[in-house]
Amino acid sequence: MFLFALAVAPGLAVCLFIYSLNKFGKGSMRYLVISFILGMAATVPALLVQLMAEDVRTEPWRHSIASYLWYAFAVVALSEEGSKFLVLRLYAYPKKVFREPFDGVIYGVMIGMGFATVENIEYVHKFGLETGVSRFFLAIPAHAAFAVLMGFPVGRAKFERSRSFGLLLKGLLVAVLFHGSFDFFLFVQQNREITQKLSTGLLSFGAFATFYIAVRLAMRALRMHQAREHPPYHQNHSEHDG
């Protein structure tokens, strides 16, 4: 029970924190809960894509840096962030309760934390307490940052119609870029031939730098929202869809 709580609590804590920042209207809790559940379900298509691809971590000595780049960005990051993006775009984005740009962040984080919670349960079940603690400080905040970086431009896209396609694409690609970079620096450390040329310390620094930049950019986006004095978008929308 303790391990299950350790796996579930971080994602819920992030959701509550982001929800508390929405000073222009809390929206419908029902839609937020559904978004979290759909985020959990989004692990299924991502897992199917990854099962169809060759996992470079199984026999790391057989693979080059190019293989790790492909697996980290095109297989893992794109399948996971793409699945989350589809939930955000197809479920939350059209809702009338999606009333201002920050709602992109709110719903993005709910979806992302649903996804991350399923991952967390799996990893903690397989590897135990130490993995749960390490993911609490690294993987969960990383997923939260990726969700903010995706949700911020997606939220703007709904209200900046002339730029909507570019902003939607930006939301997806930025999340894939940071997620893929973070995973690449971690995955490639398993290849001894590569670590003879690039030290594990340097690769770990690359992972940490990616994490740090993503979190800083995410916090900047949150501060931009907090600095606003008045909600300029759709303030009078109904709380419920018709």
pLDDT in tens, 124-160: 888 888 888 888 888 899 999 999 999 999 999 999 9
> Quick one: which of 186, 176, 179 has its CA closest to 60?
186
Residue 131 and residue 124 in contact, taking contact as beta carbons nearer than 8 Å? yes
Q: Where are the strands (E) in the chain, listed by range?
A: none
Q: Give the angle subtended at the CA of 85 by the CAs of 79 and 86, to the nearest 5°.
A: 90
pLDDT digits (tens, 9 = 90+) for 152-207: 999 999 999 999 999 999 999 999 999 999 999 999 998 888 888 889 999 999 99
Given this model, what pLDDT does residue 23 score? 63
Q: Round the average pLDDT of the chain to a whole number and report it.
A: 89
pTM of the predicted model as reported, rounded to 2 decimal places: 0.89
Contact call for residues 134 and 185 (beta carbons, < 8 A):
no
